[in-house]
Amino acid sequence: MYNAYNEGVKKVLRVPLLCFFLFLAAVMGCGSDGGDNGMEAEDGQTGDLLEPPFFAEKVFAHYREVPVDISPSLAAYQVGPGLANISNRDPFHFSPAAEELLVRNGFVVVPNAYREFFGLYEMNRYEPVPSFITTDSMLHNFHLFFSHLLRVTEKEKLAPALYDLTQAMLAESQRQYEILKGTPWENAAARNMGFFAVGGRLLNADFPVPGVVQDVVAEELRLIEAQAGIQPSPLMNWGQDLGVLDALLEDYSQYIPRGHYDSSQELEAYFKAMMWYGRMTFRFKSEDETRSALLLTLALSQDDNAHQWDQIYQPTAFFVGRSDDLSYHEYRELLTEIYGEGAGLEEVAGAEDKWEAFLRKAVNLRPPLINSIPIFEETIQPDGGQEIRGFRFLGQRFTLDAAIFQRLLYREVGENKEGQRRMLPRALDIPAALGSEEALAILTEEGETDYRGYEDNMGRLQEYSAGLGLETWTQNLYWGWRGRS
């Protein structure tokens, strides 16, 4: 069934920008395809639409500003010819070119064997040699602390918690399936069993798989392990008669562990499971997938499941950011509005009029600001927001880098005079959007600003970033890192 799609996919598919940043790669997507370009609110102001709304059971951590009342200063000096006025000249050996640069500029950068800044600083402390500590070394050490703390938290806390949550959600999904057999909700319930069975098998090869979904789970796992590139998802499309343009496509190359995730089997398993839970989308365009999303929302509302989910969501939000995707909070809020507080499985599955009301209301739910679903080009699927809107169990996270990149790529910007599309970003897009005149000048000189709409979007991004306050830049570790870059 699924192989029939491949030839058409190869001819017309445009893969969205894939993201960076260690754990961010597992839990965030990149690239928005909103129908109106996702840049401005209805009042024309760039702002909230660059950030997802805030939903939280509680705030995981607060930022406390530490007052700094030091004004560093250094008296002006000039290095003498031949380094004559340098008191500790003897331990250093410079090439003539390096010495000339040191005299002319007051500093020089030369290679050395140290892999980390702190190793050199520690050696200088024993010599003793004064150290000129630059901001890049501080940002790099922040990265080292961030990576270590994230790695330990994931391995010791989050991975076991994810396994426990997966077990609980599969048990509840099985209960739902038994009740819904023979109803229009049966296939959706079976899909959810397969969804958590795949996640469980990625975490533990011995995880039990219900018999009714064994074959489709095995097929999904085969694609993940083969890193099979862009393919229709067997599980998500299961039980639906979908054509090429309507089948959910997944990029299975995204399940390749990278960064610190390839350092142990436990972290590799955690990475793949979080990628699965963060990428697979129960799309609103499909009623059957939306039924699955509503059943997942009900399952999370049972017993301690929502609290367990939040115990994973909140720490990861503290590291990286809030989910950019629709998830439990948004669907729970709408479910309560339509069906009433405390509505259970029988009420939800049995009230066709309320189901229709839910679908009408859900049309207004936002698409993600950043897209990570492979979709076809604009001439084939013009409404990108319609294609990517849906529920994700542990949605991928909004990051400023991804939002900037997305708004400076096709479809957010058009073709240049040569008819070319900007399919990949430049690293300089980020400093330019944050206000660097030099970065923007280089991009302009190299023709990167010639794409239709690039300059307008860049101007909006610069206006947006210039207006961000301390509360935004300190909302989590990732934003704090970015804000000091």
Per-residue confidence of the chain (485 residues) as pLDDT tens digits? 333 333 333 333 333 333 333 334 343 333 333 333 333 333 333 334 455 555 444 567 777 888 888 888 888 889 999 999 988 888 888 999 999 999 999 889 999 888 999 899 999 999 888 888 888 898 899 889 999 999 999 999 999 999 999 999 999 999 999 999 999 999 999 999 999 999 999 999 999 999 999 999 999 999 999 998 999 999 999 999 998 889 999 999 999 999 999 999 999 999 999 999 999 999 999 999 999 999 999 999 999 999 999 999 999 989 988 888 899 999 999 999 999 998 999 999 999 999 999 999 998 888 887 777 777 676 667 666 677 889 999 998 888 898 899 899 998 999 999 999 999 999 999 999 999 999 999 999 999 999 999 999 999 999 999 998 888 888 888 888 887 76
Please state, as a whole number, how many other Cβ atoms lie within 10 Å of the Cβ of residue 16: 23
| Residue tagged 């189901």 (tokens) | 355
**Cα dihedral across residues 36, 39, 41, 42: positive or negative:** negative
- DSSP annotation of 434 reads T
Strands (E), 370-464: 375-376, 390-391
How many Å apart are CA 46 and CA 463, to the nearest integer? 8
Q: Please, are residues 432 and 464 in contact by the beta-carbon 8 Å criterion?
A: no
Q: Please give the full DSSP string across 202-229, using - where no structure is assigned.
A: HH-TT----GGGHHHHHHHHHHHHHT--
Q: Which residues contact 260 (CB under 8 A, 6 or more apart)?
A: 22, 147, 150, 151, 267
The alpha carbon dihedral of 10, 16, 20, 22 has a sign of negative
Q: What is the predicted pLDDT for the residue at 383?
A: 66
pTM given for the model: 0.83
| Whether the Cβ atoms of residue 446 and residue 438 lie closer than 8 Å to each other | no
pLDDT of residue 203: 98
Nearest to 202 by CA among 273, 113, 101: 273
Q: Is 435 left (phi over 0), alpha (psi -120 to 50) or beta?
A: left
80 phi-psi bin (left φ>0, alpha ψ -120 to 50, beta other):
beta
Helices marked H in 257-399 — which ranges? 265-279, 287-300, 305-319, 328-339, 345-350, 352-362, 384-388
Q: What is the pLDDT, as a whole number, of residue 36?
A: 34
- Residue of 327, 331, 294 whose CA lies nearest to 312: 327
Residue-level pLDDT at 59? 67
The single-letter code of the amino acid at 433 is A
* Predicted local distance difference test score (pLDDT) of residue 373: 75
